[in-house]
Amino acid sequence: MSRPILLRPDAPNPGSRPIPIRAAPLALAALAVPGVCALLAPAWLQDDRGLLMWITPILPAFLLAYYRGWRGAALALAFAMASLALGNAALLLTGAAPPRWHLMFVLVVVYIVLTQGVAALAEALERDRRAAERMAHTDPLTGLPNRREAERVLARGFEAARRGEDLSVVLFDLDRFKRVNDDYGHAVGDEVLREMAAALRRHTRGMDLAARFGGEEFLTVLPGSSAVIASAYAERIRAALAGAGLACGVVTASAGVAHYSGALVSSELLIAAADRALYAAKEAGRDQVRVWTEPTATPGARRDEALRDQAWSVSVLVVDDDAVVERAVARALSRRGFTARPAGGAREALRRFRESVVPVDVLLTDVVMPEMSGPTLVQQLAEGGWEPRVIFMSGHTRGEVRATLFPGGRAHFVEKPLDYDLLSGLLRGSATPRTSRSIA
């Protein structure tokens, strides 16, 4: 059985092939047939069988349309040739007078021009559509697929993993990349990103997908790969980047590897697990690969049940990588009586935590964010001594999830777009006393 041919988004359109030069004399000869007949035997064009001569100038146009894949134009021209043949037969049977050749000349020319013009316009529109599609799924700087394409491919691989296939992801982050931009300029920083993209292209299999996930982060989706294979792949990428001759000197990358586990109930959580491993690599000194392993669940944070029925005023810190979403969610919660404020991103939330000015009871955060995942943010806050009630906003998961990825072994999820009635109930049930740590 032959294998299917998969066209990449940047694959050339078959209609863009040039027309062979040897076809030009044949086409000109076919187009010249009626003209030669009009000059040498004008009376014959008015004969009962002269109508068939008008098929010859249509034939090159039909072949052109067929060659370039203009199906509509090819069908229209084939219909015209069939109509001429049937018309000629009708004239022979009925003895009716054939149309004047001047009229036929005008009709044939107009018909060819219209069909070819419409087909060429449709091809141009299709070319623009394909270009727009490539732009929508491709990072313009590196030429790699972008986050949207990576999430689409990962979602498909995640469904296969649920059916028993292996699936791993690797999340890369360039070490101290901000220092490169500050010391050498953004042009050199862009060159570093392109070098990282080149390393990913060289070492990534055709069945896998490497994408720029955001900023200096890159994500590789490895269907059918175990954690061991994914870790070896990440090591090859790390070594390739470290050995590249860059204008700014040696640039290294850290990587976090995560393999599908039943506890990771959505593709977002798989990325979050890789982010936790990446964070561990950064904490251990950078320029290394760490693999996420499912820790033993701890009973911490079960004091929720004892607080369910206590009436506390709830303050909420909203964290998302999209500032518009943060503000919109905070406004909606404020209208429902909560004290809600946007954080300005995960790193800004950490900064506010360290300043400890305004009390916060509940952290409402997105799961996957380019600079830091929601679970990693919660982990860093917990390491600083603050354990807020956490609700994750997710595009794939809803309800309570029990997994050792989260502090206390579980977390609540609300699905996007948000159901604010459901969210309000969760927030009131998650209130904690005001003795908790505070955030600016």
Note the pLDDT tens digit of each residue in 30-58. 666 666 665 565 565 555 555 666 677 77
CB atoms within 10 A of CB 162: 12
Whether pLDDT at 223 is above 90: yes
E strands within 175-314? 209-214, 217-223, 253-259, 289-291
| 173 sits in which H/E element | strand 167-174
The Cα–Cα gap between 308 and 304 comes to: 6
Note the pLDDT tens digit of each residue in 379-428. 888 877 777 788 998 877 766 776 666 666 677 888 888 888 888 888 88
Contacts of 207 (CB under 8 A, 6+ apart): 223, 224
* Residue 306 binned pLDDT confidence (cut-offs 50, 70, 90): very low
To the nearest 10°, the Cα dihedral for 332, 335, 340, 341? 70
Residue written as tokens 């996420």?
292
Whether pLDDT at 435 is above 80: no
Bigger pLDDT: 135 or 141?
141
Q: Which 3 state secondary structure label does DSSP give 335?
A: helix
Note the pLDDT tens digit of each residue in 331-361. 999 988 888 999 998 888 888 777 765 578 8
CB 384 within 8 Å of CB 353: yes
Note the pLDDT tens digit of each residue in 138-192. 999 999 999 989 999 999 999 999 889 999 999 999 999 999 999 999 999 999 9
User: For 300-315, what is the mean pLDDT?
Assistant: 46
Residue written as tokens 């390393």?
199
The Cα–Cα gap between 329 and 319 comes to: 10
CB 82 within 8 Å of CB 51: no
The Cα–Cα gap between 287 and 90 comes to: 83
The dihedral sign for the CA sequence 217, 222, 225, 229 = negative
pLDDT of residue 137: 82
CB 67 within 8 Å of CB 14: no
pLDDT of residue 375: 87
CB 273 within 8 Å of CB 292: yes
Contacts of 78 (CB under 8 A, 6+ apart): 62
Whether pLDDT at 313 is above 80: no
CB atoms within 10 A of CB 393: 23
Taking every pair of Cα atoms in the chain, the longest distance, rounded to a whole number of angstroms, is 106
DSSP state for residue 97 in the 8-state scheme: P
CB 412 within 8 Å of CB 293: no
